[in-house]
Chain A
Amino acid sequence: MGSSAGPPVAAPGIEAPDVELTDISKRFGATEVLRGIDLTVGRGELVCLLGPSGCGKTTLLRILAGLVQPDAGRVRIRGRDVTGVPAYERQLGLVFQSYALFPHMTVRDNVAFGLDARGIRGPEAGRRIARVLELVHLGGLDRRYPRQLSGGQQQRVALARALVLNPDVLLLDEPLSNLDARLRQEVRDEIRALQQETGITTVLVTHDQEEALTMSDRIVVLRAGVIVQSGRPLDVYGAPRDLFVAGFLGDANTLRGRVDPGGDGVVFVTSCGLVVGLDASRAGAAGPAAILLVRPEAIEIGRGAAAPVGAFAGVATVVRYRGATVDLGVRLDTGDELRVLKTLPGYQDVRPNERIWVRWDVRDGVLLPDETART
C-alpha cells in the first residue's frame, strides 16, 4: 500500500489520530454515496456520524471496517494506511445493528470466535472471555444461546465479542435501534460508561439526534454524502451551520427576513415586519436575505397585554401540556408564528387565545444565510 496519494501520516512529535479518513468517495452505480469525506478521530474520542437514512453514514462506517472499499481516498488507522486491507486484517471491533450473533454458538463461543481466529485459545482465551463478560455484566450467562437472551443482553454479547479483541477502534452501527425506548436509555448510558471506562476510540452511526447529543464527544452531521458540520454536541446544537442541521438536531423556529444594518445597531426584519435585535458579532456572517433561528426553549414568555421593552406581543394559539414540559404556539401581532417550549416549574398557566408576550436573548438568535432566497 503506497501512501503517496495522501498527506503525511503524522506530523513529527504529534501522535497520529486513531482514525484518519482523507478525501473518501464512493458511488454505487449512478448514486454518489460519499463525496470528499475528511474525518479524524482522536484517541479515546467518541464520534457520532449523524444523518438521515441514505446520507452515507453507514457506508462510511463500512469503509472504515473494510467491508466496503472506497472509490477514492485513504483510510488510516493508528497511522497505518489500511486502504485495501481486508476486514479480517484490521484490528477493529464492529457491532451491527442486528448484533449478528452466531445463533448456533453459545455466548462464550461467540466471544471466543475472534480470539480463535487469531490463534488465542486455552487459558489465555478463557481469562479474556471471563474479563470481558464481567465488563459487560454478562457473567454467568456464557452457556446461553443468543435466542435465550433479551435484546439488551444480545447487544452486550455483541459488544463483548468486539471488545475482547482489544480493537484499535470500536465501530457501532445504530446500536440502540433494536431496543425499546426504556431499554434504549439504559443501554445508551451503559455504552457511554463502558467507552469512558475502557477509553476506546469509538465511531457510532445513528439517525437519532438524542443518541448523538447524549453520547458523543463530537457529532459529525452528514447529508447526501457530505459532512455538513462537525463539532461538540453543545456547539452544533447551539450554532447549527444551516437549516438542515438546525432541523435535524432538535426543533427550531425559523424566521425569514433580511438584515438591516441601518440605525442604532444591526437588526433583523422578518418578512412580516417584526424587528429583532441581533448579536452584532454574528450579524456580519449572513447576506441581506437571511433566516433567524431561535430554539423553542430559548424563548421566555409572560402573560398580559402589556409587553415589556424588547418583548413582542402576541396570542397563544395552542397550549399542549406534555407532563414535564408545555408546548406553546404563539402568533405575534406582526403575524410571525413561533413555537415555545417551557418546563413546568415557574410556568404560568397560559390559556389558548390569551394575550402574552415573548422575548429572547439576542445571543440565542442564530443567523443563517437564506439559501432558498439566493437561488
Chain B
Amino acid sequence: MTTARAWVLLLPATLFLVVGFAGPIVFLGWTSLSVKDGGFGLEQYRRFLLDPFYRGFLTETVVISLVTTAVCVVLAYPLAYQLARTGARARSVLLMLLIAPLMIGDVVRGYGWLIALGDYGVLNQLLLSAGLVAKPIRLIFTPTGVVIGLVQVLLPFMVLPLAAAIGAIPVDLEEAALSLGARQGRIFRKVLLPLTRPGLAAGVVIVFALAMGSFAIPMFLGGVRVKIVGPLVFQQAMLTADWPFAAAISSVLFATSLLLLVAYTWLGGGARRGLEVVGR
C-alpha cells in the first residue's frame, strides 16, 4: 500500500530522468560512434584524443576546473563559517547576497566580467590610474580570467554544502577545543575540517562537475585562446555541424568528469555522505 504510493510519487521524477538524461546519453554515445560513410567506429574518438590540438582542450579544461575548485574551497570556508555561525537575521541577508548572483544568467555575468576585466576595463583603469601597472594586464582571453569568472559563478555551490556541514557542528565543540588550549588553526584542522568532509566532498563534486561542463563563462572570458571543451562542442555541433565529433567530445568530457569524481570520492571518503549533507 505504502510502497505502491511511494512508487507513484517516484514515477514522474524517474520518467523525467530516463527521458531527459539517460535517453540523450545513449543517443549521444550512439551518434559518437557513427562514421562519415555510414557504419560504426571509434574514428571520432581517435581524432579527439590523438590530435594534440584537440587533446589540449581536454587537459586545459581539467586544469582550469581543478584550479577553480581549489580556489572555491579556499574562499568558501570562511564564508560558509560566517554563514553558519551568525544569527538568523544576518544569515538570511548573507544567504540572499550569496544566492542573488545565481538569479542573473551566465551570459550577463560573462559580459559583466568582460567589462570589468578587459584591457581598458574597470580593473585595469583602476590599476593604471593608481600607477600600479605601466600597461594594462591581460586578463580576458587568459586561463586566469576564465578561473575568475568560474569562481564567481560557482562559489555558492561550494559555500552552501559547507555551511550546512558547519551548521551541523555544535558550537560547543569549538569552545571545548578552545578551553583545551587549541587555537583557531588547530580547531580548523582537527575539528572543523574532519567534521565537514562530507560537505566539502559535496561542494567539490558539484563545483568540479559544473566547471568541466561550463560554457558561457569560457565563451566570453576565454575567447578562442583558452581551450575549453564546452565552447568546442558548441562550435563543432552548431557551426561545423559535425554532430558525431561533437558527440564524441561530449562523451569524453562526461567520462573524464565521472572518472575524476569517482576517484575523488573513493579517496576522499563518501560522495553518498556528501550528498546527504546537501539533502539536509
Contact present for A65 and B179 (CB under 8 Å):
yes
Q: Within 8 Å of chain A (Cβ to Cβ): is B67?
A: no
Once A102-B173, A117-B186 are accepted as A-B contacts, the answer to whether A94 and B179 lie under 8 Å apart by CB is yes
With beta carbons under 8 angstroms apart, the residue of A67, A86, A98, A161 that contacts B180 is: A161
Which residues from B are CB-within-8-Å of A161? Answer: 176, 180
Contact present for B180 and A165 (CB under 8 Å):
yes
Residue-wise interface mask of A (78-117) relative to B, using a CB-CB cutoff of 8 A (1 in contact, 0 not)? 0000000011111011101010111110000000011001
Contact present for B176 and A94 (CB under 8 Å):
yes
Once A67-B175, A87-B175 are accepted as A-B contacts, the answer to whether A98 and B181 lie under 8 Å apart by CB is no
Within B159-205, the residues touching A (CB, 8 Å) are 170, 172-173, 175-183, 186, 190-191, 194-195
Chain B residue nearest to A86 in the complex (CB): B178
The complex places the Cα of A209 from the Cα of B177 at a distance, in Å, of 30
Which residues from A are CB-within-8-Å of B181? Answer: 88-89, 114, 117-118, 165
The complex places the Cα of A88 from the Cα of B177 at a distance, in Å, of 8
Which residues from A are CB-within-8-Å of B175? Answer: 67, 87, 94, 96, 100
Min CB–CB distance B260 → chain A (angstroms): 26
Chain B residue nearest to A92 in the complex (CB): B179
Within A146-204, the residues touching B (CB, 8 Å) are 161-162, 165
Contact present for A100 and B170 (CB under 8 Å):
yes
The complex places the Cα of A114 from the Cα of B181 at a distance, in Å, of 6
Q: Within 8 Å of chain B (Cβ to Cβ): is A66?
A: yes
Chain A residue nearest to B174 in the complex (CB): A100
Once A96-B172, A103-B195, A104-B195 are accepted as A-B contacts, the answer to whether A114 and B180 lie under 8 Å apart by CB is yes
The complex places the Cα of A165 from the Cα of B182 at a distance, in Å, of 13
Interface residues on A, range: 20 to 34
Which residues from A are CB-within-8-Å of B176? Answer: 94, 96, 100-102, 161
The complex places the Cα of A312 from the Cα of B170 at a distance, in Å, of 58
The complex places the Cα of A75 from the Cα of B181 at a distance, in Å, of 18
Which residues from A are CB-within-8-Å of B182? Answer: 88, 113-114, 117
Min CB–CB distance B217 → chain A (angstroms): 37
The complex places the Cα of A125 from the Cα of B181 at a distance, in Å, of 15
Residue-wise interface mask of A (117-134) relative to B, using a CB-CB cutoff of 8 A (1 in contact, 0 not)? 110000000000000000
Chain B residue nearest to A96 in the complex (CB): B172
Q: Name which of A89, A92, A93, A103 has the most chain B CB atoms within 10 A of its CB.
A: A103
Min CB–CB distance A128 → chain B (angstroms): 14
With beta carbons under 8 angstroms apart, the residue of A90, A93, A102, A165 that contacts B191 is: A102
Which residues from B are CB-within-8-Å of A86? Answer: 178
Which residues from B are CB-within-8-Å of A93? Answer: 179
Which residues from B are CB-within-8-Å of A96? Answer: 172, 175-176
Min CB–CB distance B75 → chain A (angstroms): 25
Contact present for B190 and A88 (CB under 8 Å):
no
With beta carbons under 8 angstroms apart, the residue of A90, A101, A104 that contacts B194 is: A104
The complex places the Cα of A98 from the Cα of B175 at a distance, in Å, of 12
Chain A residue nearest to B195 in the complex (CB): A104
Chain A residue nearest to B180 in the complex (CB): A114
The complex places the Cα of A114 from the Cα of B190 at a distance, in Å, of 11
The complex places the Cα of A201 from the Cα of B205 at a distance, in Å, of 51
Min CB–CB distance B6 → chain A (angstroms): 30
Chain B residue nearest to A114 in the complex (CB): B180
Which residues from B are CB-within-8-Å of A103? Answer: 195
Which residues from A are CB-within-8-Å of B180? Answer: 88, 113-114, 117, 161-162, 165
Residue-wise interface mask of B (3-37) relative to A, using a CB-CB cutoff of 8 A (1 in contact, 0 not)? 00000000000000000000000000000000000
* Pairs A–B under 8 Å by Cβ, sample size 29: A65-B179, A66-B178, A67-B175, A67-B178, A86-B178, A88-B178, A88-B180, A88-B181, A88-B182, A92-B179, A93-B179, A94-B176, A94-B179, A96-B172, A96-B175, A96-B176, A98-B172, A101-B176, A102-B176, A102-B191, A103-B195, A113-B190, A114-B180, A117-B181, A117-B183, A117-B186, A161-B180, A165-B180, A165-B181
- 6 tightest CB-CB pairs across the interface, nearest first? A114-B180, A100-B172, A100-B176, A117-B181, A94-B179, A87-B178
